[in-house]
Amino acid sequence: MEFLIFLVPILIFFFVINRSAKKQNQQREEMRQQALVPGNWVLTRAGFYGRIVEIHDEVVILETALGDESVWDKSAIMMAKEPNLAEYLGVETEDSSVSNEVSSDIEPSAVVLTNEEESPKESKEDL
């Protein structure tokens, strides 16, 4: 009888843990299925952002912002997420104008190179 006293709470604990894990997996799968629409930007498990061009049985063709296409397994898609391309394409935002003001306070003459390897080396022809 004492054995059942310990066994019942352990079984209830495993049942609750298993049920919550199934709910989380189901939510992730729903998010992934909603993301799998041509034209959507998605994030893969590897951290790759791409726009869905085509969807086949178990394969998705993703296009980068530069227009390159690559083939990915459907299971690699995590969620629909559009990348912040403004900082990479040189588009100014309010945040970038603030950082430009701070960096303009530094005078170019204040920068000193201390590494000897960066200075130009004399060649044997100059001697």
Q: pLDDT tens for residues 26-71? A: 998 888 888 888 998 999 999 999 999 999 989 999 998 888 999 9
Spatial separation of the C-alpha atoms in residues 57 and 73, rounded to whole Å: 9
53 or 100, greater pLDDT: 53
Full-model pTM: 0.53
Amino acid 105 reads D
- What is the average pLDDT across 8-15? 90
pLDDT at 20 over 80: yes
Give the CA dihedral 64, 69, 75, 80, nearest 10 degrees.
30
What share of the chain has pLDDT > 90, as a percent? 30
Which domains are present in the chain?
2-97 (2.30.30)
Q: Which has the closest alpha carbon to 52: 28, 23, 79, 27?
A: 79
Tokens representing 13? 């604990």
C-alpha to C-alpha distance for 72 and 64, rounded to whole angstroms: 12
CA distances from 16 to 19, 24, 25, 28, 49 (A): 5, 13, 14, 19, 35
